[in-house]
Amino acid sequence: MQITGQNAYDSGTYTNMFHKLGYSEQEINTRLELTWNELFYGDEQTRIYYPMGEDKGYLLDTGNHDVRSEGMSYGMMMAVQMNKKEEFDRLWNYAYTFMQHTEGRYKDYFAWHCKPDGTRISQGPAPDGEEFFAMALLFASNRWGDGDTPYNYQEQARKILRACIHQGENGEGDPMWDPETRLIKFVPESPFSDPSYHLPHFYELFAIYADGGDQVFWQEAAAASRAYLHTACHPVTGLSPEYANYDGSPAPIQPHGDYRHFYSDAYRVAANVALDWEWFRKDQWQVEQSNRIQSFFSDIDVSDYRRYTIEGEAFDEPSLHPIGLLATNAMASLAADGPHTESFVHQFWNTPMRQGERRYYDNCLYFFSLLALSGRYRIY
């Protein structure tokens, strides 16, 4: 198969799936603004953003009642995409002040979760936060320009990327990318990865904006991650495990649980693959993979979403985040060309955000899918 169409990076044109399927620009813009306002300023059953004092704010993981580097960096990406500088700066100032290490083995990394008041619960980092922090900061620099510390966005991003590659070269600590394979780790100390952490579309841009000596590394990381996902995603079902070895096979059972199966973390893979196709269109496999994941879920109602083996066998355990899974299945339509693309987009459009205790993760994935399917998840 030949790769067709021009990618968004070169053309500056983004696919608006909702408009293609008959929704008006006014409907789409109104939906985006309303959803942003509900997510950031809605009632207590919907909102996940909370301002703090005069210059900070945080996204709350409502299921675990903590603040995570994942959510903070997601919130910053949402804000820069929506051109919401005040919320962006508040989130970044919270993360910079309370979560980012200034010394030791984790210097320039972020504690992966805190109490809402900023007290760290764990010191260790989770690399998906760092890559989203860096990308959101670079977009902020390009969209709004740089200010005084900590709002010198580009240098803050470069500092994070520098640590991700070079930590431990001059003493204590570990890098977040495995130096040999160029693959992102689950945590800096781990000998395995998480397929949903792989964002080759981000690495393509890091290769432009990172320190000059690191740009080739990021080009190689983008290629390595694309190849890795071929091995981590099942060739028939398209399902991937939550944690996987560097060869793509499911990682062993961990002390904190069994992550060999398709469950919460793994939902993000479909979204990441689709956005990489939309932005750079370098790997035809991404079209086939997106068709596979949509085909697998095409006959399963959202209320029946489960935990699955990567071969597709369902456990008697419901999905913890079914709305999030629907959102990523719909976002796969940016790359898919099979028979299910339209139905998933319509189904997603007609599904409201989740409310209640477990809403945080679902609605982060929901908002990213809403941005992507409306052509508003863009490179700045």
List residues with catalytic annotation: 70, 265
Interaxial angle between packed helices 268-279 and 215-232, expressed in degrees from 0 to 180 and rounded to the nearest 10: 130
Task: For residue 227, give every residue at least 6 positions away whose Cβ sits within 8 Å of its Cβ, in sequence order, or none.
Answer: none
| Dist. CA 188–CA 127, nearest whole Å | 8
| Dist. CA 191–CA 144, nearest whole Å | 38
Q: How far is CA 335 from CA 42, 147, 225, in A?
A: 32, 37, 17
| Dist. CA 361–CA 320, nearest whole Å | 10
| Dist. CA 328–CA 326, nearest whole Å | 6
| Dist. CA 277–CA 325, nearest whole Å | 19
